[in-house]
Structure 1
């Protein structure tokens, strides 16, 4: 299916399925569009460990159509779709993205639109950009140019997240420099698309303070990720050095635990008010090695504090090691789902 035909199909589906109170539209003024699209993302779910590795199924389940239907039926309003675009692109100019992979992502967007779900297309796990940001920038821009042009006619409910968790050599200042080069590339083909941008340091809350975005760029949602305390959310995580020693760490929402959470979110809220930016909590979750009571209490508290400040949120993630859905039986882990969606 061509990009324009895909866009026409998505547009019809989006108009027919989107809740009228949330529907973001290209007819809106930029700041209004960003705000309404942020409301569309109010209760989002990350489809992590699916398309965000070098091969689908490499680190988690294959992305099944049933996942999309179940997410919509449960009450989620959007999918954050982490995609490792760089693994499907050539390493020499013109850095062409595999057309078959575009078709794979197109199919996910069609399914999401049929179920009334917005989609965040997130450029995820771009490791080389983190390690060699100066020499990799040309390829980074070329990959985004292709993605942006392919989806230029998609409905407003398809959002672009420009880069997940800048880190390592792509520090705060280098990320600001790369972002300044990237924005015109995306805006050339998508002048009205709502974009999502976070700060450096793995999209930390603190890094929002140093994020530089043109003051006139109002069609933009700011994002941050939250996994504090790491000893709670990443206990036993095999990829985190020393995390084995954290196994058994509990979180019960004591006054001190809850106050730290409030303080962290209040800092983001003050920044957002000052900068007049809508906010997406793009990732939060607790690894499955934590005890159930800890996972549930922490998840509920983070979700409540985000909603209290008007942040949209996207739980990490659907059906892998942080997951709220058992991928084989397609059964929800009900207490965890209830912590996210208490009134359905």
Structure 2
């Protein structure tokens, strides 16, 4: 006799070929609500990556899924980019979609939930200077078409297992621009999948501070409100090469002032001017206060909260870094906020380094 999970896996593969549009939700458990608690981001695989072919396939495997599940996580957040899934003529990349389905099948087999996050569009990258998504109707239609096709591909998976995140870190000139496009995106998904959970965040990098400007579609219980948390930025992105603060290589601290006033006074103005707020005291109380706009909206609308990204670079002194993770995790969980750390595999934020070895202390801080 074959093991049960082997039989299930073979069945899923056959069903995927013979019945590509059929839902796999046969068990009563598959028809229940989606539950998210602890997750990790599978970044730099189907998003922000130049890997292709065998290298891309080898980056994330079933072994990773079992590792994540066995260490106490209940879901993954999977960023995907338009340029990974579709060519410039909008033809689907068969290989990339096969990898996406393979990941979903592994999650289903190992009872791991997933959030598929449309991370970067050709018309919108959160750090780009020009973002045609907010000014060109054809770019907005392309965004909607991406979701038509993603829904057609992914609707076969149980609503109890998979959620859609419409757009990662929208950065529009005004909240109204995002709210209007968000409403169109939700309406599109609802016409195709009435019960699918949709994850939405506020304008300008999904900051908690912009939650008061977020317009959430009314009378829709299948929505999760999402924010990202990298505060204080001077700490979490210490010496990050892609930021304006990359040239500051002095000390940073947590808890307390990230950079003491004495340390700040010793810096040339060209550096200190970039470190605005670096002398501010950060601790659990600060975190709790900064989460309030999201918590208040969540309570008013009776919708769950999700911190879809949070992380601190390993350029930060180890003790301070681990203290930050410990405190933020405690604050999130005390407020019943589900989370997904950034990220699973990388040499900067990751639980797993590029050498394939796990940071056991960080892993313990996140899961024990």
With normalisation by structure 2, the TM-score equals 0.80
> Does structure 1 residue 103 correspond to structure 2 residue 106?
no
Match in the other structure for 1:159: 163
More helix by share: 1
> Does structure 1 residue 328 correspond to structure 2 residue 355?
yes
SS at match of 1:124: strand
Alignment: residue pair count: 319
What is the distance in 2 between the residues matched to 1:280 and 1:4? 36
Q: Structure 1 residues 96, 196: CA separation in 2 closer, same or farther (over 3 Å shift)?
A: same
> Does structure 1 residue 66 correspond to structure 2 residue 72?
no
Q: Structure 1 residues 216, 246: CA separation in 2 closer, same or farther (over 3 Å shift)?
A: farther
Kindly state the Cα deviation for residue 66 of structure 1 after the two structures are TM-superposed: 1.9
What is the distance in 2 between the residues matched to 1:292 and 1:7? 48
Q: Do 2:186 and 2:198's aligned partners in 1 also have CA atoms closer than 8 Å? A: no
Kindly state the Cα deviation for residue 246 of structure 1 after the two structures are TM-superposed: 5.3
Match in the other structure for 1:339: 365
Q: Do 2:283 and 2:327's aligned partners in 1 also have CA atoms closer than 8 Å? A: no
What runs of 5+ residues in structure 2 fail to find an aligned partner? 1-12, 126-130, 258-280
With normalisation by structure 1, the TM-score equals 0.85
> Does structure 1 residue 271 correspond to structure 2 residue 297?
yes
1:189 to 192, 202, 222: 192
Match in the other structure for 1:132: 132
What is the distance in 1 between the residues matched to 2:59 and 2:173? 30
What is the distance in 2 between the residues matched to 1:127 and 1:170? 18
What is the distance in 2 between the residues matched to 1:229 and 1:107? 37
Kindly state the Cα deviation for residue 129 of structure 1 after the two structures are TM-superposed: 2.8
> Does structure 1 residue 229 correspond to structure 2 residue 226?
no
Kindly state the Cα deviation for residue 126 of structure 1 after the two structures are TM-superposed: 2.1
What is the distance in 2 between the residues matched to 1:118 and 1:295? 28
SS at match of 2:283: helix
Structure number with greater Rg is 2
Q: Do 1:10 and 1:113's aligned partners in 2 also have CA atoms closer than 8 Å? A: no
What is the distance in 2 between the residues matched to 1:164 and 1:71? 22
Higher RCO, 1 vs 2 (CA within 8 Å, ≥6 residues apart): 1
- Deviation beyond 6 Å, 4+ runs, structure 1: none
SS at match of 1:200: coil
Q: Structure 1 residues 177, 4: CA separation in 2 closer, same or farther (over 3 Å shift)?
A: farther
> Does structure 1 residue 50 correspond to structure 2 residue 45?
yes
Match in the other structure for 1:20: none
